[in-house]
Amino acid sequence: MTDTNTTRCGYVAIVGRPNVGKSTLLNHILGQKLAITSRKPQTTRHNMLGIKTEGDVQAIYVDTPGMHKSNEKALNRYMNKTASAALKDVDVVIFVVDRTKWTDEDQLVLERVQYVQGPVILAINKTDRIEEKADLIPHLQWLQEQLPNAEIVPISAQQGHNLEALESLIAKHLPENDHFFPEDQITDRSSRFLAAELVREKIMRQLGAELPYQITVEIEEFKQQGKILHIHALILVERDGQKKIIIGDKGERIKRIGSEARKDMEVLFDAKVMLNLWVKVKGGWSDDERALRSLGYGDL
């Protein structure tokens, strides 16, 4: 007798240049905010798994940092390497682009994706913002010539448009496998990591142009006492002036960062959260490979 129930399971890398909507796409597929997002490029710094199990199908998504050109700093090199590594050993690649906007950085991603042996899906995102639909057609033709085997799917990650079509295409490409993760697991990342990311997201969203790139967040304490989760987060900046900006006038800004991060944490962890934030200067951490490793930025 043969078993007629086939289960499918595999890895799906979500790649693209910064700011095209990769993390937004992951969150909408999962139906839950897991990855941080912002209007600023280079929001995501680490690969993160988002696992979706529906019946016999388990899709393991890998959200990645946007691949970008500036390679001067160790942190930037780390981010680009991390994103490129995600292209190896996955079953499906989703290459996300922003409508008809095509930059040198999209070209960089294209050149990597062209080497991928397995199925590639080209997701044209932010279609809710397309005014001139006619402009899209020649661009799609051009893209198809660059990636002749890719399937092209227009989506709006933010509005949830056409995501079912995207997901059923992905499911078709997943190999027959037993599931690698339990049905209720949604990520490989720890609660501490997710908490640190939420603090970083609020900083990305609230602060001006350059500053967020010189900040990282470490969780120093994460413990449950009775019904309350006590979380202490350390915000590391590069210079003294940056510390002042984060704290703000009479501590206004850090208070707002803390209260917004706490609200998201309470939803994510389904618990009451007491959050304490500290700011410390650690000069040059973003270009110091040893400091980066000790801050959880993996091997370079």
Ligand X SMILES: Nc1nc2c(ncn2[C@@H]2O[C@H](COP(=O)(O)OP(=O)(O)OP(=O)(O)O)[C@@H](O)[C@H]2O)c(=O)[nH]1
Residue ranges of the annotated binding site for GTP are 16-23, 63-67, 125-128
Residues that bind ligand X (CB under 6 A): 16, 18-24, 37-39, 41-44, 65-66, 125-126, 128-129, 156-159
Q: How far is residue 296's CA from residue 14's CA, in Å, rounded to a whole number?
A: 22
Min dist. Cβ of residue 125 to Mg ion (A):
12
Token digits of residue 121: 């899906």
Token digits of residue 107: 């070209």
Q: What is the dihedral sign for C-alpha 42, 46, 49, 50?
A: negative
**23 sits near Mg ion (criterion: CB under 5 A):** yes
Which residue of 19, 44, 47, 76 would you call a contact of Mg ion, by CB under 5 A? 44
Min dist. Cβ of residue 165 to ligand X (A):
14
Q: Which is nearer to Mg ion, 36 or 229 (by Cβ)?
A: 36
Place of tokens 């009479």: 250
158 binds, among Mg ion, ligand X, none (CB under 5 to 8 A by kind): ligand X
**Contact, 300 vs 78, CB < 8 A?**
yes
Give the closest residue to 11 by CA, choosing from 55, 63, 56, 54. 63
Q: What is the dihedral sign for C-alpha 212, 213, 215, 218?
A: positive
Min dist. Cβ of residue 175 to Mg ion (A):
26
Q: Which is nearer to ligand X, 11 or 213 (by Cβ)?
A: 213
Q: Which is nearer to ligand X, 23 or 53 (by Cβ)?
A: 23
Q: How far is residue 216's CA from residue 225's CA, in Å, rounded to a whole number?
A: 26
Min dist. Cβ of residue 18 to ligand X (A):
4
Q: Which is nearer to ligand X, 25 or 174 (by Cβ)?
A: 25
